[in-house]
């Protein structure tokens, strides 16, 4: 075996081991989510501990140093909790949440399209397709390119047997499967004794369906209904169900001069799975916001040195914090004073002593609305990816982190080949579907910490932290090959699309040049015949 072949084999082996560790990280994330949902009951804590022990073994065996360090810290906290006679403290819960969050950022999604067929049971539950056999196999094949394990069932009996053997993540069912309304009858029978209904996407060969049929479908657990759907519609809908990731925990800054009151709020928020940071000196608030980057602030009204209203006014003077939610938590019962405080930049006012469930519900509601508003500002409306401006902001943040931690970083420019011909030949709505398909393809194959943006038109930008140029080259080539096999649909028939990509690495001093360098590499990819990936090479 040549030196080059040995290096290639070593890289393939390294990627295989990395995927094993990433799968165990995802398992630990699931156990953490269940632990918080079940209010830290003993059984779920045992499962969480076992999942971490397995991650420890996998990370040690495959030399995944970063995951091993995190798992060892988690093990240490678990031992502290076991040794204590009291429930986990707010500090321990916060530390665990931060470790789990950091681990989650290392877990990359599987690329099923690049893996050989396996006879083992896949980690994700399958999707059962009970639809017209003429399109079922083609739909199943296309779904596999999106890491969706789609299984075709050919009869009502086969579907019932499949569900009795292994429950699916969702079903795609024709309302008239095998006979008129037979699909609806079948799902009603399947859902009859279930405490929690299985999610179903109903389809119909008819362009128009009556309200009675749609009502039956909704009552039978139907989450979507598509008359005469195309494959891309089904893939997007199935992906929302099968690849749903738990939301990141809310980050809350608690500002209160009373240690006991701040500890009370901290415990309540930590128990709900949130990450908190407490400061007892209100004059430290701006530094704390900058370091902790909270999504909202829970703040006392009366503190030494300044009032909550004065502090809110100072925070609101900073343009970057104008939309940061502020929730007052105070013993003030005078309604006029409460309204005055709200007029000074507050969003909610809770009166002490506050019920912990009331506090958690208020913070969660405010946090969800703040995230939704931020998404409207920073995301592209067609794809849901970051927009041009925010992508560049995230690049600059990633550069600062890479420089501080001495980690590699790459920036990639991805451009759909001959996109104008797609619009000219098939129309702009089909072109939009192609853009949507590529955005979904990228989201499924990149890590949670990777930044994916729509740079403009048919052009995408990727920021890949802690990634070497050669790894990015392999990854983007794998994605390119898989996307090229995907068939897109139009009225005149199916067609395939390719993309080209340019990659630039960060060297610590090319902060302002990375975008231009990736663009130059993309230019060379286009010049070399399109449908390829090129690394930027400095000619100076």
Inter-residue contact 58 to 21 (CB < 8 Å): yes
Are the C-beta atoms of 173 and 187 separated by less than 8 Å?
yes
Report the alpha-carbon distance of residue 434 to residue 488 in Å, rounded: 7
Residue 92: burial class (beta carbons within 10 Å; 0-12, 13-18, 19+): middle
Specify whether the CB–CB gap between 101 and 248 falls below 8 A: yes
Classified as helix, coil or strand, 180 is coil
CA distance 82 to 53: 15
How do 493-496 and 499-505 pair as beta strands?
Answer: unpaired
**DSSP helix/strand/coil, 321:** helix
40 by DSSP, 3-state: which?
coil
Q: Are 269 and 363 contacting, i.e. CB atoms less than 8 angstroms apart?
A: yes
Nearest to 414 by CA among 437, 397, 394, 398: 437
User: Of 7, 458, 459, 512, which residue is the catalytic one?
Assistant: 458
User: Is 458 among the catalytic positions?
Assistant: yes
Q: How far apart are CA 244 and CA 228, in angstroms?
A: 25
Q: Are strands 451-456 and 348-351 parallel, antiparallel or unpaired?
A: unpaired
Strand-pair category, 275-279 with 533-535: unpaired
What are the catalytic residues?
Answer: 458
């Amino acid at each position: 075996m040549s030196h080059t072949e040995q290096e290639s084999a070593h890289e393939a082996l390294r990627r295989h081991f990395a995927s094993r560790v990433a799968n165990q990280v995802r398992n630990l994330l699931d156990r953490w989510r269940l632990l918080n949902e079940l209010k830290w009951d003993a059984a779920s804590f045992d499962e969480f501990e076992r999942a971490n022990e397995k991650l420890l073994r996998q990370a040690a065996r495959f030399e995944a140093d970063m995951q091993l360090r995190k798992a060892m810290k988690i093990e240490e906290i678990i031992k502290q909790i076991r040794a204590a006679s009291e429930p986990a403290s707010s500090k321990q819960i916060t530390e665990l949440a931060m470790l789990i969050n950091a681990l989650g950022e290392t877990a990359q999604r599987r690329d099923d399209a690049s893996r050989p067929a396996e006879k083992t049971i896949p980690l994700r539950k399958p999707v059962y397709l009970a639809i017209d056999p003429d399109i079922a196999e083609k739909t199943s094949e296309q779904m596999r390119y999106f890491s969706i394990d789609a299984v075709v069932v050919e009869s009502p009996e086969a579907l019932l047997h499949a569900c009795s053997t292994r429950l699916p993540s969702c079903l795609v069912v024709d309302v008239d499967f095998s006979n008129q309304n037979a699909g609806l009858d079948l799902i009603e029978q399947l859902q009859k004794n279930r405490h929690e209904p299985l999610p179903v996407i109903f389809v119909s060969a008819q362009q128009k369906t009556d309200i009675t049929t749609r009502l039956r479908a909704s009552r039978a657990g139907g989450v979507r209904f598509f008359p005469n759907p195309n494959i891309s519609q089904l893939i997007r809908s199935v992906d929302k169900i099968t690849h749903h990731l738990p939301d990141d925990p809310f980050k809350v800054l608690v500002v209160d001069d009373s240690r006991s009151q701040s500890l009370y709020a901290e415990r309540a928020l930590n128990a709900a799975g949130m990450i908190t940071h407490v400061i007892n000196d209100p004059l430290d608030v701006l530094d704390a916001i900058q370091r902790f980057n909270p999504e909202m602030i829970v703040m006392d009204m009366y503190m030494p040195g300044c009032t909550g209203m004065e502090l809110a006014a100072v925070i609101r003077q900073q343009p970057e914090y104008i939309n940061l939610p502020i929730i007052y938590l105070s013993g003030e019962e005078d309604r006029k004073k409460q309204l005055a405080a709200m007029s000074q930049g507050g969003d909610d006012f809770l009166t002490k002593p506050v019920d912990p469930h009331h506090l958690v519900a208020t913070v969660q509601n405010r946090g969800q609305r703040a995230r939704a508003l931020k998404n409207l500002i920073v995301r592209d409306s067609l794809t849901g990816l970051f927009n041009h401006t925010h992508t560049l902001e995230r690049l600059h943040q990633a550069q600062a982190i890479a420089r501080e931690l001495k980690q590699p970083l790459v920036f990639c420019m991805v451009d759909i080949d001959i996109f104008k011909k797609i619009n000219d030949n098939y129309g702009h709505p089909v072109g939009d579907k192609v853009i949507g398909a590529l955005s979904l393809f990228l989201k499924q194959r990149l890590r949670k910490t990777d930044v994916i943006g729509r740079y403009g038109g048919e052009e995408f930008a990727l920021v890949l932290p802690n990634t070497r140029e050669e790894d990015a080259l392999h990854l983007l080539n794998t994605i390119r090959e898989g996307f090229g096999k995907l068939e897109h649909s139009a009225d005149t028939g199916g067609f395939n699309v390719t993309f080209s990509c340019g990659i630039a690495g960060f060297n610590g001093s090319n902060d302002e040049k990375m975008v231009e360098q990736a663009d130059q590499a993309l230019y060379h990819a286009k010049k070399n015949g399109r449908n390829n990936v090129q690394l930027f090479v400095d000619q100076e």
